[in-house]
Amino acid sequence: MEAPLVLSTNIGHPAQMVVALVVGGAFGLVLERAGFGRADNIAATFYGRDFRMMRVMFAAVMTSMLGVYLLDLTGVMPVGNIGLLPTFVLPALVGGALVGTGMVVGGYCPGTSVVATMSGKLDGLFYIVGLCLGTVLFTVSYDWFAAFHGSTAMGRVLLHEYFGLPSAVMVMLVALFAVGALWAVGRIEALVRARSHLDPLGAQDTPATQETAR
């Protein structure tokens, strides 16, 4: 029997929606515990002061990647059985840059803005209002964007296929990259904190309350 379970078991639509609620609930809870209900914890990554956001994100991607490819190599869940995301090179590049811009300007991304709003943060709610406006704006103007949106399509291509490597090698290279990047940002963080005479407190574990002037 191969995973995912939806392939081999008879999970109906209502039950799948219940699973979505539970998975979403766990997702929201972990984002809150990670500190992403506050924009300052997210934006701090972009000023070299506290790379918490990058640490959480890379640790999440690495954990999930190792799990996915372990399940793939053992035949429990062939990676082709899960919904692989298709690649559109230029839309990913432009869309990614815009989502990143929105993150430093607005302080959130779509998922974290929901958690922030539900933590009482008014700026999170304003991000969500903007998110709805931006999404509708794109849909309403889709005739202008359609050609670009569908351009540079490469299908469901994975990194190891693109580079012609065994998946296990690619997984190790990506893991090495992540470890190296997190080591490097740790050094940058130490330098920035020393230079800006910030409290060398573990801003890691305490919310940097920036409500009050320094």
Partner 1 sequence: MTQPKPFWNPYVAGIALGLVVLVSFFITGKGLGASGAFKHLGAAVLHQASPTWAEENKNIGDYFVPGHSPLDDWIVFLVVGVAIGGVVGSVTAGRFRRETIRGPRIGRDSRLVLALLGGIIGGVGAQFARGCTSGQAITGGAQLALGSWIFIFAAFGGAYALAYVVRKQWI
Stretch 165-204 residues interacting with partner 1 (CB under 8 A): 167, 170-171, 174, 204
Residue closest to 57 by CA, chosen among 185, 202, 199, 203: 185
Q: What mask, x for binding partner 1 by CB under 8 A, covers residues 28 to 67?
A: xxxxxxxx-xxxxx-xxxxx-x--x-xxxxxxxxxxxx-x
Tell me which residue of 166, 9, 7, 1 sits closest to 73, measured CA to CA: 166
Rg (CA), the chain: 20
The Cα–Cα gap between 77 and 68 comes to 8
Q: How far is the CB of 170 from partner 1 (least distance, A)?
A: 6
CB of 87 to partner 1, least distance (A): 3
Q: Which is nearer to partner 1, 73 or 130 (CB)?
A: 130
207 binds partner 1 (CB under 8 A): yes
Do the beta carbons of residue 156 and residue 99 sit within 8 Å?
A: no
Report, in Å, the least distance between residue 162 CB and partner 1: 5
| Residue 135, token pair as written in the block | 């999404």
Which string of x and - marks every residue 98-137 that binds partner 1 (by CB under 8 A)? Answer: xxxxxxxxxxxxxxxxxxxxxxxxxxx-xxxxxxxxxxxx
Q: Please say which residue, 159 or 191, places its beta carbon nearer to partner 1.
A: 159
The two structure tokens encoding residue 117: 């709003």
**Residues of span 74-103 touching partner 1 by CB under 8 A:** 77, 79, 81-89, 91-103
Token pair recorded at residue 33: 């515990």
